Structure formats: structure tokens, C-alpha cells
Amino acid sequence: MRLFHFLNEEFGLKDLREKRLKISRVAQLNDPFELLAVDLAKAENRKLIKAWKGTFGNRHGLVCFSRSWRNPVQWSHYADKHKGICLGFDVADHLPRQVAYVTSRFNWPIEIDEIFSGQLLFTKFAHWSYEDEFRIFTTLEDPEDDLHYMNFSNDLVLRQVIVGSESSITRSAVADALGPSLTGVEVFKARPPFRSFRVVRNKDASLWA
């Protein structure tokens, strides 16, 4: 499936050069309710989930994607106010899982099982639904300066580089970052449309050096 990953200019070009995406740590995510979508009114449940989240977060990280590159809020929040880029990947169907958006926290289950763990990992408050998010969780291995990465691969194939409407990134900068090993990648610049609030492709190539 085609999924999209937003980045600022610095890390976007860096990831293109290095052919990989940085894996996010659970503790560094921007939502304080991450992995806490269950009702935690009881103190013993809060203690249990806190311990589980800490242990899980020390061993696992995630890479987040969106189903679409056209949402202007995504560009504002995750691509440095439209100054960054968005990378479109063909992702193997077995890797990502879609986030479910809810208006209230779900009840504590009768049994602590994989279904419950999945709910914790892939449930967010409904106000985040504009992200239309898919997630890939992975184990944290082989750190570089305490950072972890997921390499481009046959399961994560780069297909598009979309440059933000306010970006100063040039065509040559993208080409240099892609290098000779990434061929057939579609590269274009986005723009705000004239009749809607969805980001669109700038078809006038002459406006982008």
C-alpha cells in the first residue's frame, strides 16, 4: 500500500541520502495518551500499564505514516510548516497497521492478551484522526548515537518525494540526496490549491528550480 512520511528539510534529505527512516521512541511521541487509551481509574491498573509501557518502550519503537500527503495540517506539524518534504512509500501489506480513533477510553479487559496490547498500540483520541495514521512497530537494535533506523527495503520502497510549498529545497538537492541507487522515484513540488484546503501537486515545473 502507498503510505506517506513527513519530515523537515534537514532530516528529510538526510534520510534520502542514508536510505532509511529514523525510528521514534515511545517516550518521545507528542501525545501524552500514547499507549494509554484504556480506562485507568484503578490505581493497580495504572501501575501495571506504566510498567508495561516502560518495558515495551525500551525494547520497541515505531515509524508513523499517513494514508495521504494532501492534508495541510500534516505539513504544518510534521514538515516544518510546509518547508520540508513528504516521502511516499510502497509498504508491504503485512507491516503497517491502521490506527483506530475513539472518543472515549475503552474498558479494562477481562483478560490481558494480544488483543488488549494491540488496542493500546493502535488506538488514539478521535481529534488525531486527521493524521489517518498507520504504524509499524519494530524492535530497537543496533543503535547509532542512541538512535535507531529502519532501512529502505523491498518491504519499504521509496516511490515519491514531495517537496513542501514553502520549501527552499531545490531539484538538484533532491537528486543529489537520492543518488544513483534510487531510480524511478517521482519528484515534485506541492502547492496550496485555489478552491479547496487539500494540498495539490504544482504542475508548473518552471516555478521550481
Percent of the chain having pLDDT more than 90? 89
Residue 203 cell numbers, joined = 504542475
pLDDT-derived band at 207 (thresholds 50, 70, 90) equals low
Q: What is the DSSP letter of 156?
A: E
pLDDT-derived band at 209 (thresholds 50, 70, 90) equals low
**For residue range 136-163, what is the model confidence (pLDDT) as tens digits?**
999 999 889 889 999 999 999 999 999 9
What is the spatial distance between Cα 99 and Cα 31, in angstroms, rounded to a whole number?
Answer: 14
* DSSP E strands, 11-154: 20-22, 24-25, 60-66, 85-91, 97-98, 100-102, 123-125, 133-139, 149-151
